[in-house]
Structure 1
Amino acid sequence: MRVMVLVKATEESETGTLPSTELMEAMGKFNDELVKAGLLQAADGLKPSSQGKRVAFDGTKRTVSDGPFAHTRELVAGFWIWDVKDMDEAVAWVKRCPNPMPGPSEIEIRPFYEMSDFE
């Protein structure tokens, strides 16, 4: 089962503050463990929403909005894509993850639709 593991943004990550050297090293070690376990398919951090755009759809109309976007806790600061046996395995791995932010933070796990879901 493939899952997307979403690191939620914080006020600090939205300012563009880069992670500390210690956090980068801890995340590097965690990512190495994911690779050795054969789970990691992709991973990356995202720049703050102030550098992003949103495109809203309404029928054939398209409206482009510049960031930053409100509701920081609903934004994504980074992600992984993992191939795990089930949601329990994904949760167990997230619990092993270093705190991705200097203060309180949140990680969301969402399964991908697979072709078998449509059969």
Structure 2
Amino acid sequence: MRYMMIMQVSPAAAATAAVDLDMEKVVAEMGAYNESLQKAGVFLTAEGLSDASEGFRIDFDAVPPAVTDGPFAEAREVFTGFWIIEVASREEAERWALACPLGPGVALEVRRVNEFSDIDLPEDNEWLSKAQEWRAANA
């Protein structure tokens, strides 16, 4: 099973981190964590995300959909990065998430990535078949 671990930082923690963090130490801790994921054979990918001020949101409640540039004042947390891991169970995903070297003001949301078998479609569905081909080509 694949799980996505999404790093969320409160705006207050993000502002403090920008001033107080020793980035060399943070990179070393995250590097060691990522290396442990790789050595265990569960690491698929991990990426950091740019600041919300560089992003945008599309609201599909509007017609036509409305585009709003970041930052987003109503945000209770900022997404700063993610990992995708492949593990045997939810419990294993939880163990890896608990081992992540994060601190106060930061949370990980962990969600299972759907498999094709989770989609209620016939196996011969054209788009499901194409999606399986795309995934195989990019594996």
TM range, smaller chain: 0.7 to 0.9
Q: Is the 8 A contact 2:52 2:70 kept in 1?
A: yes
**Structure 2 vs 1, CA of residues 80 and 91 (structure 1 numbering), >3 Å: closer, same or farther?**
same
**Structure 2 vs 1, CA of residues 74 and 55 (structure 1 numbering), >3 Å: closer, same or farther?**
same
> TM-score if structure 1 supplies the norm length?
0.85
Q: Is the 8 A contact 2:6 2:81 kept in 1?
A: yes
**Structure 2 vs 1, CA of residues 14 and 52 (structure 1 numbering), >3 Å: closer, same or farther?**
farther
Q: Is the 8 A contact 1:13 1:48 kept in 2?
A: no
Larger gyration radius, structure 1 or structure 2 = 2
Q: How many residues get paired?
A: 117
**Structure 2 vs 1, CA of residues 47 and 109 (structure 1 numbering), >3 Å: closer, same or farther?**
same
Higher strand share: 1
Percent identical residues: 37
- Residue of structure 2 in register with 1:54 after alignment: 57
SS in 1 for 2:35: helix
CA distance in 2, matches of 1:64, 1:115: 31
- Residue of structure 1 in register with 2:106 after alignment: 105
Q: Structure 2 unaligned runs (5+)?
A: 121-139
- Residue of structure 1 in register with 2:116 after alignment: 115
Q: Is the 8 A contact 1:5 1:108 kept in 2?
A: yes
Superimposed CA distance per residue, residues 14-56 of structure 1 (whole angstroms, 9 cap, x where no aligned partner): 6882762111101100000101111111101111111111112
> TM-score if structure 2 supplies the norm length?
0.74
**Structure 2 vs 1, CA of residues 3 and 84 (structure 1 numbering), >3 Å: closer, same or farther?**
same
CA distance in 1, matches of 2:76, 2:35: 27
Q: Is the 8 A contact 1:14 1:49 kept in 2?
A: no
Higher relative contact order (Cα pairs below 8 Å, separated by 6+ residues)? 1
Q: Structure 1 unaligned runs (5+)?
A: none
